[in-house]
Amino acid sequence: MARQDILQLLTTLPGEYVSGEKISQQLNVTRASVWKQIKQLQEEGFEIEAQTKKGYCLRKTPDSLNAWVIEQMLGTVSFGRSLIIEDELPSTNAKAKELAREGGIHGQVIIARTQCSGRGRMQREWQSPKGGLWMSIIIRPNLSLANASKLTLAASVAVVDALKELYRLPVGIKWPNDLIYNGHKIAGILGEVVGEWNRVQTLILGIGINANFPRENLGSSIAAATLQEILGHEVDLNKLTAAILLHLEKQVSALEADMFEELCINWTARAVGIGEEVKVIRGEEVFRGIFRGISQEGELLLETDHGEVRFSAGEVRLRSKLGTYFGEPL
Ligand code: BTX
């Protein structure tokens, strides 16, 4: 008997008691083993009331990551319909790449409660303590190579919208796809291509959100924010996961329907620093100018004294005129 079967029975009539006898009959198991499973569910964070005469009643599902709970909350067609949660992984992106090579499907999600070797762009370290949301999605989009790189921009719009919908948080996008709250990084997004892009057409989208832990759990040199500190309470990670996946699926579908202009407008509306004087650093070179937004191809547009210059993500760093980027130290 799977614990899911018990949960399914307890949720058919929300708020009502289901007798141990009924559960044991329906699932063809002893009442003692039903009790054992209920105790395990309670340990996983399900608030289940047990009353001698009435039976069991599910009062609340856990806020901590739980695949069954996420599944109940999902409003997507394919994103997250296949979903794995591991206690610890080196990196969910690395695991997702492995799964993609083994035939992982479009929309498959892998989440880790903690990562011991989380990565940012250019192999930078991404600290991933317990309490965060560290997840990767396998995307096999119906997009041309030129358009596929826009997926990471779409992902940043999706995460901003999910955070706004759930917590009314005004989060901005730092080009190309870091999410900033009051000058502090609250989330990061990493898109990685698997195999030969032209043939395989698979992108791994890694999303990391500083959620239920204090900022001190990250290195002191990092200008980061966490949802717990901003909101003053822990958040429901299952709800957050389901909301992000729904927004992401919508964004990806819009891109597949060739709606890049709309994405461009949505991204720009959420971006920080547009119209400001900035420095763009490419290796040893420094370009100064006004940050004008992004092109249809997702490149950064810089208005310099010598005309407009375009930069693609990955090759450059962006800083405000004062040497900081919206609060982030150099
Ligand atoms: P990034 O290269 O823009 O950011 C990396 C930089 O951010 C680091 O050099 C460090 O200064 C800072 N940093 C490290 N950890 C944190 C943190 N938790 N919060 C704020 N700042 C931090 C951004 O890369 C993309 C990150 C994607 C992470 C996800 S998590 C799930 C998936 N798996 C995986 O290994 N990566 C992705």
Question: CATH classification of 3-60 is 1.10.10.10, yes or no?
Answer: yes
For residue 319, what are the contacts with CB-CB under 8 A and spacing of at least 6?
278, 279, 280, 281, 325, 330
Q: Indicate the pTM of the whole model.
A: 0.92
Distance CA 85, CA 283 (A): 39
Whether 67-270 and 3-60 are alike in CATH topology: the answer is no
Cα 119 to middle of ligand 1, angstroms: 6
Distance CA 263, CA 315 (A): 22
Higher pLDDT, 99 or 198: 99
E strands in the chain? 47-51, 55-60, 83-89, 109-115, 133-139, 172-174, 178-181, 184-194, 202-209, 277-282, 285-294, 300-304, 307-311, 317-320
Q: Mind listing the pLDDT tens digit for each residue in 228-247?
A: 999 999 999 999 999 999 99
Q: Where do the domains of the chain lie?
A: 3-60, 67-270, 277-326
Q: Mind listing the pLDDT tens digit for each residue in 88-140?
A: 999 999 999 999 999 999 999 999 999 999 999 888 999 999 999 999 999 99
189 within ligand 1 shell (Cβ under 6 A): yes
Distance CA 68, CA 27 (A): 18
93 within ligand 1 shell (Cβ under 6 A): yes
Q: Mind listing the pLDDT tens digit for each residue in 283-294?
A: 888 899 999 999
> What pLDDT score was predicted for residue 150?
87
For 277-326, CATH number?
2.30.30.100
| Closest ligand 1 atom number to CA of residue 127 | 15
201 within ligand 1 shell (Cβ under 6 A): no
185 labeled binding residue: yes
Which residue type occupies 246? Answer: L
Pair 294, 308: CB distance under 8 Å = no
Distance CA 305, CA 302 (A): 10
With bands split at pLDDT 50, 70 and 90, how would you rate the model's confidence at 197? low
- Helix axis angle for 237-256 and 151-167, nearest 10°, is 140
State the DSSP H helix or E strand holding residue 145, giving kind and residue range, or none if neither. Answer: helix 145-148
Cα 116 to middle of ligand 1, angstroms: 12
With bands split at pLDDT 50, 70 and 90, how would you rate the model's confidence at 175? confident
Closest CA to 219 of 136, 312, 120, 148: 120
Pick the CATH number of 67-270 from 3.40.50.300, 3.40.449.10, 1.10.8.80, 3.30.930.10: 3.30.930.10
